[in-house]
Structure 1
Amino acid sequence: MSIIIEIGSTADIVALSKLIPEFEQATTFEQLESRLAGVVSLILVAKCQGALIGYKVGYQFTEDTFYSWLGGVIPEHRKHGVATQLLNYQEKWVWNAGYKQIKVKSMDRFPSMLKMLTSNGYEIVGLDKSVCGSEDKIVFLKRLVV
């Protein structure tokens, strides 16, 4: 399976998010535009034979930190390294843009994501508690080595 990673658009993300069952509600164009307005951002998409199969979205959090905000791969293309390819592309871009670290949050209910992050050098640095507890987010950080 030949995967191509390239720069995508907010429209790509809106379309793809509807195909990822773990997301209770699809990401809207308005949510994306609002979060990315006025900040340096990166939208990546993965394609297989021209079809969109995954994405990763991030933006500048601080001068030194890039925040990897959203990402996902449609179910029929999982377990083929697509998410890892998106992660690697993002890391190279972030490094070349001069950031020192990447921050990302995930939840226990996404074990594949947790495993991918830890196996790629992301360290747990905190926990964002939610009101109900079931939506607690694990905070990860990867320091980019010079």
Structure 2
Amino acid sequence: MVEYLNFENYPDEPYGKSMCRLHNQIFTGQDSSMIAVELQMKSRCFISLAVVTDKVVGYKIGYEDRTGRFYSWLGGVDPEFRRQGIASELMRRQHEWCRGHGYRVIRTHTKNKWRDMLILNIRHGFDVIGTYTDEKGQPKIILEKRL
């Protein structure tokens, strides 16, 4: 049974470490230690976790990047738990929280190689508003949703 937990700060243990382990599993080659550091520099953040027996099986992290706009930064679901609606529920919870806190727009960036995330965003009302090339020379897609 999946339990959903919401946080407005970096989650206490065991959830913080479990979330970082999952992030490293999904995004190999990325250092998850930057998540806590990055969030400490943000004025307002929101983290929603999907948990099974104290193990994080899905997460969605975002923060305010300017007045009225929330940036949906990181998220993922354990491959063993995909296709169960967890990513959609995490997104629904994030958008509900954003509405309740006065945000008018949610923005996110993704890559074409993360097609499941791109499709999920489009299914949940995001529009592609542009593209750019990041510092590694990778093309990125900018999406926004008006709340």
Q: Is the 8 A contact 1:56 1:72 kept in 2?
A: yes
Return the offset for 1:131: 5.4
Gap runs ≥5 in structure 1: none
Instruction: Select 1:28's aligned residue among 29, 32, 35.
Output: 32
Q: Judge conservation of contact 1:5–1:46 (CA < 8 Å) in 2.
A: yes
User: Percent same amino acid among aligned pairs?
Assistant: 29
With the length of structure 2 as denominator, give the TM-score of the two structures. Answer: 0.86
Aligned to 2:100: 96
Cα distance, 1:4 vs. partner?
A: 2.0
Pick the aligned partner of 2:112 from 108, 115, 119.
108
Tell me which residue corresponds to 2:70: 66
Structure 2 counterpart of 1:75, from 47, 61, 79: 79
Indicate the RMSD between aligned Cα atoms, in angstroms: 1.7
Superposed CA offset, 1:93-140 (max 9, x none): 01101110100011110111111111110000111213564x211000
1:11 aligns with 2:10: no
Partner residue of 2:131? 127
CA distance in 2: counterparts of 1:52 and 1:108, whole angstroms: 26
Q: 1:26 to 1:61 in 2, by over 3 A?
A: same
Displacement of 1:69 after TM fit? 0.2
Q: CA deviation at 1:33?
A: 2.6
